[in-house]
Chains A and B, each alone.
Chain A
Amino acid sequence: DAKTTQPTSMDCAEGRAANLPCNHSTISGNEYVYWYRQIHSQGPQYIIHGLKNNETNEMASLIITEDRKSSTLILPHATLRDTAVYYCIVRSGSEKLVFGKGTKLTVNP
């Protein structure tokens, strides 16, 4: 059973913020939200993770709702190189990573 729901695809204009939503309504208290991405023909790449607080790093920001049932990955200034499939994963520390189908983000010039 999938723990997360993501849109199949999204488009974004270059230079604009890309906001990728993820629904995880059955998340439990010890489960983290992870985001990975996979650029075409490459291995997946870790982006960011969080438990309940918002997080920011050099790649992106992660906004988690107060009830933790959904989150949004924000790429503040999308570039063409951000075109990729983005995976939202919910996982506790003892579980293996399980990748769903993700959201295919296309950044347009």
Chain B
Amino acid sequence: DAGITQSPRHKVTETGTPVTLRCHQTENHRYMYWYRQDPGHGLRLIHYSYGVKDTDKGEVSDGYSVSRSKTEDFLLTLESATSSQTSVYFCAISEYEQTYEQYFGPGTRLTVT
């Protein structure tokens, strides 16, 4: 398995509080991605990074920000969590943008009450 960890694995938080999810990789891959998965929607791309300090928006980026200060870490921040952000969040990595394989982490289950 690719060396990808996510923390925390589970989190319950209240509406309006800030939340940061961490993705850590040991593969030295350039590209990192954050997805969310909700029933009936499949996986949707939130943000992605193509290098240290280089990030871009995905299809559902509103309400989320990201940062990547080191190759191995990609942080997803919910500045003020809302109930609509209750979801399972997956991080993924790939060596090249055009690569056929993305490796996914184990996921973080976030509940916003």
Contact = CB atoms under 8 A, between A and B. Distances in A.
Interface of A: 32, 34, 41-46, 49, 87, 93-94, 96-102
Interface string B71-111: 00000000000000000001010000110111111110000
B43 A99 contact: yes
Q: Is the interface of A mostly helix, strand, loop or mixed?
A: loop
Contacts of A100: 42
B58 A96 contact: yes
Contact of B42 (A42, A49, A102): A102
A44 B43 contact: yes
B112 interface: no
Contact of A41 (B44, B92, B98, B107): B107
21 contacts: A32-B100, A34-B100, A42-B106, A42-B107, A43-B90, A43-B104, A43-B107, A44-B43, A44-B92, A44-B102, A46-B101, A87-B42, A93-B97, A93-B98, A96-B33, A97-B45, A98-B45, A99-B35, A99-B42, A101-B40, A101-B42
Contacts of A44: 43, 90, 92, 102, 104
Contacts of A93: 97-98
Contacts of B103: 46
Contacts of A98: 45
Nearest to B104: A43
Contacts of A96: 33, 45, 48, 58
